[in-house]
Structure 1
């Protein structure tokens, strides 16, 4: 690897490389060597920006969880407009991108990473827990707009939707039609 070559955004370059390795080969293939090789940088670059590989992985998860938080704002802004089922279907389909599904597998497969995330204050499994908060906020906004029953338990409905959608996406049966049917069934319970 050449030395002395400036890297524009090394953290992002490493995160993007980690995603590619994760998608191509799964969580067990995700090593510091695989990431730096994929990124085309010396191994020292990773360790210059992160104390160890679990710190790198925690940074990757937190970066991707922030993206979920950004999408949450758009979903909540859609409350009271358009079709509720379509809004939720689009939100869940967007949430459960291949990267997000792989990220959940990564978190559940690495004890050190889960410990690091818990120490940083993350409850549950980031990405999924962020998704629950996103759907809860959306459903609360829809409840306030009168589009679902005032007695609907937004938290419980969000957990049901996230858990069910995750199962569908990890089984390969998570296409938009399946998710739309799941959302329609859940919304009927909220009416």
Structure 2
């Protein structure tokens, strides 16, 4: 790339490159050189925008968490409509078919990244804790509407749904059948008839 050329949206370009590498090759393949090569930019570009590679990765993870806001809003808006099990199955499948599973592996894989994230994230793995909040908020709305039992512990239920679904998707070359996700959801969530 010629010097002096302005790169528009370089952060987004680098983050999209990281997504592709994670999904295609896994966390061990994610290096600064791999990201810049995949993005089609000089290696120095990454270091002009981030203090170091772990700073890039921390920003990348937090950006992926922020991207979940639209999905969370759509799920909240689904409260009271359709079927609770179907709504949750769709949301969980969309979450885990995204780069989320790879981000969890990335955070687990890199000690320095976990340390940086602990400084800015309250607890747990950012993508999973944000997903649990999203699911818990939806479940609370459904509980308030009388569509799941009034005594449902929505925070525990959300954590169980995230953990159980994550186990279905983790370390797989293929995406699990939607019926497997639906079975987990239907087993844990007992909608009111």
- TM tier, shorter chain? over 0.9
Matches within 5 A, 1:95-174: 95-172=95-172, 174=176
> How far has the Cα of 1:122 moved from its partner?
3.8
Structure 2 CA distance for aligned equivalents of residues 127 and 169 of structure 1: 14
Paired residues of 1:142 and 1:148 also in contact (CA < 8 A): yes
> How far apart are 1:154 and its partner, in Å?
0.1
- The separation in 1 between residues aligned to 2:137 and 2:87, in whole angstroms, is 13
Pair 186,131 (structure 1): closer, same or farther in 2 beyond 3 Å: same
Q: Deviations along 1:84-106, whole A, 9 cap, x unmatched? A: 11100011011112411111100
Following the alignment from structure 1 to structure 2, what is the Cα–Cα distance between the partners of residues 100 and 155?
20
The Cα of 1:171 is off from its aligned counterpart by 4.7
* Residues 46-61 of structure 1: pairs in structure 2 closer than 5 A: 46-61=46-61
Query: What SS does the corresponding residue of 2:121 show, helix, strand or coil?
Result: coil
Secondary structure of the residue aligned to 1:96 is: helix
Q: CA deviation at 1:22?
A: 1.4
User: Deviation digits for residues 12-70 of structure 1, max 9, x if unmatched?
Assistant: 00001111111222111111111111111111111111111111001110111011122
Question: Unpaired runs of 5+ in structure 1?
Answer: none
* Cα contact 1:139–1:154 (8 A) shared by 2: yes
- Whether 1:183 aligns to 2:185 is yes
Q: Is the 8 A contact 1:169 1:175 kept in 2?
A: no
CA distance in 2, matches of 1:32, 1:168: 30
Q: Which aligned segments of 4 or more residues in structure 1 are displaced greater than 6 angstroms?
A: none
TM-score (norm 1): 0.95
Q: Cα deviation per residue 1:135-160 (whole Å; 9 max; x = unaligned)?
A: 00000000000001110000111011
Assess if the C-alpha contact under 8 Å between 1:14 and 1:35 holds in 2. yes
Gaps of 5+ in 2: none
How many residues get paired?
190
TM-score, reference length from structure 2: 0.94
Residue 75 (1) aligns with residue 75 (2) = yes
What is the RMSD computed on CA atoms of the aligned residues? 1.3
Looking at structure 1, the residues matched to 131 and 47 of structure 2 have their Cα atoms a distance apart, in angstroms, of 31
Aligned to 1:86: 86
